[in-house]
Amino acid sequence: MHSLDSPRTATSLAQVYLLDRDAGLLCRILSLYAARGLDVLRVDYAYAAQHVMKLQVSVDCIHAETEEVLRVLVDKASTLIGVLAASDHAASEWRAA
């Protein structure tokens, strides 16, 4: 995994999850990325409500099959208990802090 201030590449994709505030659930979602060998560029999370957090994961999309792997990850993660919603989209411009 790269450090959080890695430069953004033009070929990155992001996925957004709304989930119960649960560190174990967050770790299970991130382990899905690690298990598939995806290069995580950035992870952001914020509280969306009292017991709900928003998790955004941006990955390097250098391989053609990465988009399909990410679609599978959204499906797998959305079946985990505590995930309220999951979606994927092109990553917005992120600047290194």
- pLDDT at position 2 is 34
Tens of each residue's pLDDT in the chain, 97 residues:
333 444 444 578 889 999 999 889 989 999 999 898 888 899 999 988 888 999 999 998 877 788 888 888 888 888 888 898 888 765 554 434 3
Distance between CA 25 and CA 45 in Å, rounded? 13
Distance between CA 74 and CA 63 in Å, rounded? 18
- pLDDT at position 1 is 36
Q: Where are the alpha helices (DSSP H) in 1-97?
A: 23-35, 66-78
pTM over 0.85: no
Cα→Cα distances 5→8, 15, 31, 97, Å: 9, 18, 21, 6
- pLDDT at position 18 is 92
- pLDDT at position 17 is 92
Q: Does the 13-90 domain belong in CATH 3.40.50.11290?
A: no
